[in-house]
């Protein structure tokens, strides 16, 4: 009986995972292999099932919309995560040093991250407003643009994508810095003292001590942020609605559009599973690249 006790304790967790995660995943996977374009509630009527196999996946992969959407998703993901890692690491290195008011700075650093994403999106949409937005006002005061010749940052696809990236970086850099700061504080100070005695410069101490010992934390941060950035939806829904002319439409928005707006449930489920495959691919590449030197 004692051998079964651990499994009995874990049973409630298993039931929750099965009901809330595995069953919906299996349900969505099943939908992606049938042609369900009617009301999803009619799924209980098996006569409406029309098994089409991989037809939805073939239609997605042979269409131009999917690839252009994937390119925009990858652009937002790589630029956002790259900037967040670079800025977050710089902030973490600064906050790891001793200075007056360090605790206060660590506290206020988290304010952008504490904002709900919806609030963040509305805030930045106001900032970018071509008539009354703060960004145009600051640029005009600094002399980069003339008064009255304001820029519509959300008016073209490329500038709107970059405006979304700035809003995403502003919100999520804090959590990246926090994760890296926690890892930095676990590095023994004796390693740096020994390196200083040997005459190692600051750059060599960073390359040979800090970065290798930070690699596991960087890996976790990259995987978490890449997954989130690849699924970005709230910012785009609020700031641009996928526009202008579909110029900021990413994979999660395409899934929402096909499923909830056009009623193509099977097509949307297939896109969602392709998104999952890309996220798994990123996780695999990160592990191979960052753990290669530690093995």
Cα–Cα distances (Å) from 117 to 11, 165, 260, in that order, read 34, 13, 21
187-212 core/surface letters (b: 16 or more CB in 10 A; e: else) = eeeeebeebeeeebeeeebeeebbee
pLDDT > 70 in the chain, percent: 93
Say how far apart CA 161 and CA 120 lie, in whole Å: 16
Query: What are residue 141's phi and psi, to 5 degrees?
Result: -65, -35
Q: In the prediction, which pLDDT does 175 show?
A: 92
Mean pLDDT within 159-179: 93
Mean pLDDT within 51-75: 90
- CA-based radius of gyration for the chain: 24
Mean pLDDT within 18-47: 78
Q: What is the pTM of this model?
A: 0.85
- Give yes or no for a contact between 227 and 50, defined as CB atoms under 8 angstroms apart: no
Helix orientation angle between 134-141 and 117-127, rounded to the nearest 10 degrees: 40
pLDDT band at residue 270 using 50, 70 and 90 as cut-offs:
very high
For residue 249, what is the enclosing H or E element? none
């Amino acid at each position: 009986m004692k051998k079964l006790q651990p499994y009995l304790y874990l049973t409630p967790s298993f039931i929750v995972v099965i009901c809330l995660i595995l069953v919906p995943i299996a349900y969505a996977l099943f939908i992606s292999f049938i042609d369900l374009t009617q009301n999803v509630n009619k799924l209980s009527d098996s006569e409406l099932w029309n098994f089409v196999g991989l037809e939805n996946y073939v239609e997605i992969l042979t269409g131009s919309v999917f690839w252009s959407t994937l390119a925009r998703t990858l652009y937002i993901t790589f630029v956002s995560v790259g900037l967040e890692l670079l800025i977050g690491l710089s902030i973490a290195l600064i906050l790891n040093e001793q200075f007056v008011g360090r605790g206060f700075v660590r506290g206020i650093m988290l304010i952008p991250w504490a904002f709900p994403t919806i609030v963040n999106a509305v805030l930045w949409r106001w900032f970018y407003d071509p008539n009354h937005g703060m960004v145009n006002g600051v640029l005009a005061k600094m002399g980069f643009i003339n008064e009255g010749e304001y820029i519509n940052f959300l008016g073209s696809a490329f500038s709107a994508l970059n405006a979304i990236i700035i809003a995403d970086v502003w919100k999520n850099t804090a959590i990246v810095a926090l994760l890296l700061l926690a890892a930095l504080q676990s590095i023994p100070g004796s390693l740096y003292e020994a390196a200083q005695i040997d005459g190692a410069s600051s750059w060599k101490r960073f390359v040979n001590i800090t970065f290798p010992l930070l690699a596991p934390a960087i890996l976790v941060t990259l995987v978490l942020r890449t997954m989130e950035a690849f699924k970005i939806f709230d910012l785009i829904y609020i700031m641009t609605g996928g526009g202008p002319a579909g110029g900021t439409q990413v994979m999660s928005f395409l899934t929402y559009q096909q499923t909830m707006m056009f009623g193509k449930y099977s097509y949307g489920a297939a896109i969602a599973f392709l998104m999952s495959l890309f996220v798994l691919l990123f996780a695999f590449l990160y592990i191979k690249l960052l753990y290669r030197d530690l093995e």
